[in-house]
Amino acid sequence: MRSKIYLILIGITLYASAFAQQTKPSENIKEQKRQERKQHIAELIKRDEEGSLIYNKQSLFGFKLNTDGWTALFEHGKYKTTTTTNTWFLEIGERKSHKEEKITATDVTGFPIGNPLIYGKQNVFYNVNVGIGQQKLIGGKGTKNGVAVSAIYGGGFSAGLLKPYYVTIIDPTTNETRDVKYEGPNDTLFLNYPFSSAGFTKGFNQMKFTPGVIAHAGLRFDYGRYNELLSAIEVGISAEYYTKDMPIMVNATPKKFFYNAYVAVEFGKRN
């Protein structure tokens, strides 16, 4: 009986020893990573207190509300000096006319019929912008809870994309419903008989491309903690010029030059 107990105790001891040897390296790795993380944060706090944004590169996503539409953006930046970062950006957005007004048709009981439509809208104007720029630090964070203020400027190329705006009408000659786009000043069907938008996807296969250029300038207020996270609000102005007129509304003169003011919310990371 005693020999069996000795054998069991020896087996338990050997198992515990083997288990300790297996778990010890992983615990050491975890502890090493914790120490590296603490050291990294301490370094970031030091940089933050010095008021300098020091990193190798940054990436951010954002959304702009413009005075004439909206824009989604991606920006990538590479550190150049203590106060300067070189950037490139990609933007996708929509330009709208100030004359746009969304309406909804109703039946005799007041119940909505079909999709809301924008009466007199000729084209949906999308734009895709690609360019380069710079971020210049104006004021660093005085404390780790402060705000870094940077000047943002850049420019590049724009792809203006016009998608025909289709509406659903009731044809007075056949009393049938069908989708139509604007065909010119004498298009009475488009102007007089629409009751619904034909939908978002209608007209994408007829989209037309017009090249242009873009420039923007603004101020970025970065609330990012320890400089490794970018959490910012940006305000500024933007301008675009296209090689052809870009008609949006039937009752508005088409133009080549567009400008707007914007406010953006941005999130990203530095490393």
Interval 16-25: pLDDT, tens: 555 455 545 5
User: Do residues 11 and 86 share a domain?
Assistant: no
Instruction: Note whether 195 and 151 are within 8 A (CB).
Output: no
Q: What per-residue confidence (pLDDT) applies to 3?
A: 55
Nearest to 261 by CA among 235, 240, 243: 235
Output the furthest CA–CA distance in the chain (Å, rounded). Answer: 109
Q: Count how many domains the chain has.
A: 2
105 shares its domain with 148: yes
Work out the end-to-end distance of the chain between its first and last CA atoms, rounded to an integer number of angstroms. 64
- Is the pLDDT at 59 greater than 90? The verdict is yes
pLDDT at site 12: 52
Name the nearest CA neighbour of 220 among 211, 232, 210.
232
Q: How far apart are CA 258 and CA 262, in angstroms?
A: 13
Domain finish residue from 31, 50, 69: 50
> Does residue 5 sit in the same domain as residue 111?
no
- The pLDDT of 208-224, averaged and rounded, is 94
Range of the domain at 16: 1-50
- Residue holding tokens 């400027």? 153
Pure H helices in the chain: 2-50, 188-192
Task: Tell me if residue 185 falls in helix, strand or coil.
Answer: coil
